[in-house]
């Protein structure tokens, strides 16, 4: 199941078609990101593109990284700034078009894309990849997380991404180091996901009982983690 075009500003204002839960807002950094940072995956000036509420950026800054978080939703950015201020962290949060990134040329050493790529159509993906090249320094690192094409049928996802798509769209500009599937944590339990599906697409069939969950009962979904170096 692919969901229709998403108005992220409305979702952050509490106008989600699936209720109060923001599916990707887990009130903290993604566990896959925490493990990646512990393994030395981030260096220099870090861009969190599509930063949303800023939880990943806040975590990276708390670990001593210099972070800029960019997003298109003003409400999300306002909440991200509040979260950083409460923790006494100096993070730049700003509104930007990910397919252009004007004013950020040659700035970043590492890019984190935590679930933005799969929200773009194919034309926008090519423009986005080109903008990342412009915004980064030579030998910059990219960590991209996006829905894999193994996400179960019926799961509400903007799109599913194949390995071939990543290699054909991202590959010409970024040299792949690793491409693997990892578990990505959502804010939804099996029950809340069932309720959301009943509201969003009552004709869809998804056996939520078969979905993996973490120790808190949050549904896990398969994501690609692409680690690459700017070509």
Edge-to-edge order in the sheet of strand 220-230 = 92-95, 66-71, 45-49, 108-114, 136-147, 220-230, 174-185
Structure-token pair, residue 42: 């981030």
User: Cα(147)–Cα(74) distance, rounded to whole angstroms?
Assistant: 24
pLDDT score of 2: 54
> CB–CB of 69/91 below 8 Å?
yes
User: Cα(41)–Cα(144) distance, rounded to whole angstroms?
Assistant: 12
How confident is the model over 78-94, as a mean pLDDT?
A: 98
How confident is the model over 25-48, as a mean pLDDT?
A: 97
One DSSP character per residue, 74-88 reads HHHHHHHHHHHHHTT
- Domain map (residue ranges) of the chain: 8-230
Q: Does 166 have pLDDT greater than 60? A: yes
pLDDT score of 5: 66
pLDDT (tens digit per residue) in 98-133: 999 999 999 999 999 999 999 999 999 999 999 999
CATH of domain 8-230: 3.40.50.150
pLDDT score of 1: 45
pLDDT (tens digit per residue) in 23-36: 899 999 999 999 99
pLDDT score of 36: 97
């Amino acid at each position: 199941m692919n969901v229709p075009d998403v108005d992220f500003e409305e979702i952050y204002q509490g106008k989600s078609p699936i209720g109060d839960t923001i599916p990707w807002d887990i009130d903290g950094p993604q566990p896959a990101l925490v493990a990646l940072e512990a393994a030395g995956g981030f260096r220099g000036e870090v861009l969190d593109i599509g930063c949303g509420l800023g939880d990943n950026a806040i975590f990276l800054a708390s670990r001593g990284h210099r972070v800029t978080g960019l997003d298109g939703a003003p409400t999300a950015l306002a909440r991200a700034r509040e979260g950083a201020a409460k923790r006494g962290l100096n993070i730049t949060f700003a509104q930007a078009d990910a397919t252009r990134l004007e004013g950020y040329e040659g700035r970043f050493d590492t890019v984190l894309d935590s679930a933005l790529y799969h929200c773009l159509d194919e034309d926008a993906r090519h423009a986005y990849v080109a903008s990342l090249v412009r915004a980064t320094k030579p030998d910059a690192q990219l960590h991209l997380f996006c829905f894999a094409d193994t996400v179960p049928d019926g799961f509400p996802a903007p799109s599913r991404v194949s390995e071939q798509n990543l290699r054909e769209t991202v590959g010409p500009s970024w040299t792949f180091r690793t491409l693997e599937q990892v578990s990505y944590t959502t804010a939804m339990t099996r029950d809340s996901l069932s309720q959301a599906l009943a509201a969003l697409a009552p004709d869809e069939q998804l056996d939520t009982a078969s979905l993996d969950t973490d120790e808190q009962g949050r549904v896990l979904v398969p994501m690609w983690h692409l680690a690459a170096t700017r070509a």
